[in-house]
Each structure stands twice: as C-alpha cells, then as structure tokens.
Structure 1
Amino acid sequence: MTAPDYDLFDLGALALQSGAVLPDAKLAYKTYGTLSPAKDNVIVFPCAYNGLIAENEARIGNGSPLDPERYFIIVFGLFGNGQSSSPSNTPAPFDGPRFPRVTITDNVRAQHRLVTELFGIERVQLVTGFSMGAIQSFHWGALFPAMVERIAPFCGAARCSRHNYVFLASLKATLSADGLFRGGDYVEKPIEGLKAFGRIYAGWAFSQAFYREEVDLKVMGFASTDDFLERFWDTLFQERDPNDLLAMLWSWQHADISANELYNGDFPAALAAIEARATVMPSATDLYFPVADNEAEVARMRNARCVPIPSIWGHVAGNAGANPADTAFVNARIAELLAS
C-alpha cells in the first residue's frame, strides 16, 4: 500500500460535545513551508465538505497568497473525510453508522490542540477556507478570538441556515433511500443512492445563470445537460464512503459558532466576540450560502467586510481552479487581508 501523503495527530480519547468519547481519535493534517523561529507566520487552511487534504493544494504555492516560501500553512481534514477519524476507518464499536456525532466545534478544538501542543503556536496570522472550511474559519475566530489575527471565509457562513439544512436533509434522504444502504451497514456500496446524491448537488452547487449561459457546455466541454449530469455528477461521490458523507453532513447541518458553553446559543454575541480582521467572500450566486446571510453576520462583527465574488458559478466559485477569474478574485482579497 502507498503511504498516505499526510500525517496523523493522536488525540487519544477525544471527548465530544455530544458527551460521547471517541477512543484513539486521529486528526489528519499536512504542513507546507517552514515555521518561523518566532512562530508568527502561521496560516490554518481546513478542508471543505468531502474534501481531501491534497485538494487544498490548488490554492497553495508560489504566486498565491498562501505561499509556502513565506508562510507555514497547516491543512486539516475534517472528522469523517476518510483521513481523520471517520466511520470508514474507525474500528467497532464506532464503525460505520455507529460513528459518534462530531460538531464543527469538536473539529476546531482538535485542530487547536494540534497547533498548540505539536507546534507550540500561540498566534495564527490567518484562518481561511472554502465552504465547510469557511465554517471552520468562523469557528476559529469565535472560539479562539485572542489567537486569530485574520479570517477569510469564502462561500460559507458562521452557522448552517434553515434553508441550507433542508438542502442537506434532501441529500441524506436520497442516499438513505437506496435499498443497499441498509441503515449504513451496507454490504454492496449503494451506487444508485450516491448517483442521486450527486444529482441533487447538481441543482445546488451551480447557479441558474451558470446553466442559462451554458457554461457546462461552452466552457467545461460537455455535450449536453444529460452528459454533464452523467459524466460529472453521477461519478463525483461514487468513490466516497456513504457513512463518511453522512457524518460530515451532520456536522455541517449542526454548525453554529454559538452552539457551545462560551456563548450558549447567543449567535450575535459569538459574532461580536470575533476579534480577527475579516474578509468574508460569498459567491454572488451561491444558492445555499447567500450573500444576505454573510451581510447579516458581518454587520455583527467588529472588524469585517463582506466582499461578494462576482460570479455566475454559484457555490463552485470558491473551488480553486474551477473558474480562473473567481480563483484570482479570492486570492487577491486574501492577499489584501494578509497585507493589512
């Protein structure tokens, strides 16, 4: 077997917000660049939903604001992504559908342990991320306000909205409806459920304008709408473990920076507690992280601005490399923030 291109941090018996304890918990991570002697060049860059650590590398490199020649960049895999502790790699009795519920707060507190215990870091220059990575960026700012200098969440939010929750519930329902799924104790992978999972995403991840302008045909090179669905969306999730997808989905649905003992559900107070200078970047056409939600959040934050990505690519505007103009826009705003 090929050795994994990332490291694992041993968390031991990890106590979760739910009250459950995940024994022998592991947090997957990878670092890029060199930690400065003063430990003052740190960027935290957590993964998105369904994201593997290597997928964040599209935004790391010379010429990018996330430059490993200048910064020490730490990328984290979510619990449930198949690299960190997940339903697919955890032994009984917490395997498969028995994997405990893990919150975004649980994820970020585990990441904080690694940053402080393994590297002795006390200040973080920037936390940034796309989608669920953006959600984690907000959590870093709220949970550790004195530690985080800047946050740059893009195509994400400080909590899962009710509308977003409904979208995610439809994904769970369609995957669970495949008869092969068997409540998560499947013997044969529920491929039809995973195809349907992708087809629901197809109507949410890109905007109406994306389809109206036929970007999938004229830019991405697909022959027709059905060709796009069959060759792009039907295959997208087939290699992933269904229980992993549902574990991360639950974390996303219950994301809320105020859902902890620090803020006791007081969302405005949690936003006001963020000390970091923040540039929040929604996509102008995102269907599940709309601009209005970020504008309402920024209005409650101390030192933040909302700068929408002027894109018709919907949520995918935040996916590095999908549309070069969107990637350049996000990178430019991150560079401005780091220079501030």
Structure 2
Amino acid sequence: MTDDGVHEIENLTLSCGRTLRRARIAYRTHGTLNEDRTNAILYPTWYSGRHWDNEWLIGDGRALDPARWFIIVPNMLGNGLSSSPSNSPAPDNGPAFPPIRVIDNVHAQHKLVTEHFGITTLPLVLGWSMGAGQTYQWAVSHPEMVQRILPFCGSPRTAPHNQVFLDSLRAALEASAGFDGGRYTTPPEQGLRAFARIYAGWGFSQAFYWNECWRELGYTSLEDFAVGFWEGFFLDGRDPNNLLTMLDTWWHGDVGATPGFSSTEEALASIRATTIVMPAEKDLYFPPEDEAWTVSRMTNGAELRVIPGVWGHFAGGGAPGRDPRNADTTFIDRAVADLLDRPSGI
C-alpha cells in the first residue's frame, strides 16, 4: 500500500532567517502505520531525486518491507515536488527562492512526522547521498526520536574536494546561454548538458568505465551512455534553479552547524542512535577514508561497512536499468536488516 501526500507548513522559518510561507513537503508512504505508531522508518530523498527514485530498496521480502514497516519518503526542499524555486509563488519564485540548509529539510520533515502522522519514535532513518546527510542531521537534531541510522554513500560534512566539484556544476549552469541569472523563460539546455557531462565523471568510478559496466544498463557505447543516461537524467524535467538550490544545500552541509554545537566532531560525538555507516569502495564524492574519519569521531560504537565493487557513488543509488538483484543492493539490504535487528541506541 502506497499513499502520496503534501503536508503544508504555515510558516517554516529557515536557518538563513527567511520564512517560507505555506511551505509544502511532498511525500510518499509505503505500508501501514501501526496503532501505537512505532513502526515508522524515514527515508529522505537525494540530490535531484524524487520519492519514486528511492523505491529500489523497498519491497516485499526486503528489509524495508511495507508489510512490516511504515516507510515515509519525504522530498527535499528544492526538488520540484516540495517547495522549490520552480513551484513557489512570488516573491520566493525562481532565483529569489531562499537558501536551504540540511537542517531546514530535517526541521520540515520533523513537522511532517510529528504533526501530521503523530509519530514520536523512528526505529530507523536512512538515506543515500544527500539523504545520508539528512540522516546524520536527524540523529544530531532529534536524538530522543531516532533509534538507528544507516547513512550510505554520504557524509555529515561536505568535504572541500566535493565543494570544488559542486562549484564546477554551478559554473556550468550559470554560464549557459539563456540562463539570464536564473530568470530564463525556457530551461537552458546547453548548460544542463554541460552539467550532465561534468557529473558523468563523478557518479561512477574509473573502474566502472574501464570495465564498460555501462553496458549492463543497456548502453552500446561510451557516448551513448553519456547522452542517454547523464544528459537524459538532467534534461528530464529538472529545473536549473531547483538544481542550484539543492546544490547550495549540499555545499553547505555540516552537522557541526547545528545550534548548540561548536564543531562537526562535537555533533558526531553526540549521536546516540545505533549506527552503520556505509560508504562505497570507489565513491569519488564520499570516499571510505572520509567516512572512516566520521566513524572515528562517533562515540556510540558505530560500525563502518564498505560496499565493495566498482560502481562508485551509484553503488548506493539504484541506477535505472540495473538488475535489481545486483550485489550492491543485496549488500545494502542485508545491512538494513542487520541494523534493524540490533538494540536501539536510545
């Protein structure tokens, strides 16, 4: 059983000091909330992802089985479904949309979970990529609610090398013919194609390309993959101002910016939830050594479990066209099951 909805928040005060009036959080749920509201799992979306893009890890017989769990997939602010530059009325439309931070997403999601669903305990929060960043933030912001976390292929703080990559994406869009400072009348296709080509060198590993693993996704040449997968992905209804809003959220990601903490290390040490951190072996955004540092700063006995293989960042992303029985999905599913079998950290 699935259900789509939109939770409206009359006034959502953001960390930048602006207020989003009549803010909207779009979401999809899988399964049924039990009578005592104790079977809810939160699974936030990722950069440019929409709620249906998380479904590869949900299903009968999986650890995230809707027959047992009530799985809530909230859409990030800026992704085009929740409040975003592309769907907000003036004066918050287009390039005037306010800056969004990870903590703002978690604040809005907390209102959805508590005010709309009446949930006070989350047995698990998990997420891929920017969803992992939101997962860490949930554990820091709401330690009284979150029993377990499983951030995969993501980090609690955006690393400098990652920020350099994000700056190149921003430059490609903003320099595009027709971008006009974000006041375009039609999406600047030239910039979106350049954006996609930059992304193509990061989402999968060097070994993925060396081994021509793109053939497993149904592509017949490297150029076919670059156009069909990457350019097709970002030309599929993804608004440039939305992309820039989420990019800014990603760039500034840091649980250490949470009020009450003076550093990332201090925030990580505060996490009480039972934790498995899962980087991918060849992830170029969030390499395993970065997440080993993260685990070393946590004091809750967190486990580091590396996803093996050559698929890089997309080891944790359910790449469209990939066999759903692949080794990466099986590895992640097993970790989710293992974590849910462990005692709560709170």
Superposed pair shares fold, TM > 0.5: yes
Q: Which residue in the other structure is 1:312 paired with?
A: 310
Greater displacement, 39-48 / 29-38: 29-38
Q: Within 2, Cα distance between the matches of 1:111 and 1:234?
A: 31
**Which amino acid letter does the alignment assign opposite residue 192 of structure 2?**
L
Counterpart contact for 1:275–1:303, Cα < 8 Å: no
**Which amino acid letter does the alignment assign opposite residue 166 of structure 1?**
V
Percent of matched pairs sharing the same residue? 48
Q: Which residue in the other structure is 1:330 paired with?
A: 332
Query: Once superposed, what is the RMSD of the aligned Cα atoms?
Result: 1.1
Q: Give per-residue Cα distances to partners, 1:5-52, cap 9 Å, x unaligned.
A: 721111112110000111111111121111112211110000011111
**Which amino acid letter does the alignment assign opposite residue 269 of structure 1?**
E
Q: Secondary structure at the match of 2:256?
A: coil
Tell me the number of residue pairs that the alignment of Structure 1 and Structure 2 aligns: 334
Counterpart contact for 2:80–2:86, Cα < 8 Å: yes
Q: Within 2, Cα distance between the matches of 1:226 and 1:27?
A: 37
Q: Which residue in the other structure is 2:181 paired with?
A: 183
**Which amino acid letter does the alignment assign opposite residue 287 of structure 2?**
P
Q: Secondary structure at the match of 2:272?
A: coil
Q: Is 1:143 paired with 2:145?
A: no
Q: Which residue in the other structure is 1:11 paired with?
A: 9
Q: Secondary structure at the match of 1:237?
A: helix
Q: Which residue in the other structure is 1:232 paired with?
A: 229
Q: Gapped runs of 5+ residues in structure 2?
A: none
Q: Which residue in the other structure is 1:120 paired with?
A: 118
Counterpart contact for 1:276–1:303, Cα < 8 Å: no
Q: Which residue in the other structure is 1:216 paired with?
A: 214
**Which amino acid letter does the alignment assign opposite residue 175 of structure 1?**
L
Per-residue deviation, 1:329: 0.4
**Which amino acid letter does the alignment assign opposite residue 337 of structure 2?**
A
Equivalent in 268, 275, 298 of residue 278 of structure 1: 275
Equivalent in 290, 295, 308 of residue 293 of structure 1: 290
**Which amino acid letter does the alignment assign opposite residue 112 of structure 1?**
H
Equivalent in 266, 269, 277 of residue 266 of structure 2: 269
Per-residue deviation, 1:232: 1.7
Q: Within 1, Cα distance between the matches of 2:40 and 2:147?
A: 10
Q: Which residue in the other structure is 1:93 paired with?
A: 91
Q: Which residue in the other structure is 1:206 paired with?
A: 204
Q: Give per-residue Cα distances to partners, 1:209-261, cap 9 Å, x unaligned.
A: 101111113x2332221221122212210121110011011101111111121
Q: Which residue in the other structure is 1:45 paired with?
A: 43
Normalising by structure 2, what TM-score?
0.94
Counterpart contact for 1:87–1:96, Cα < 8 Å: yes
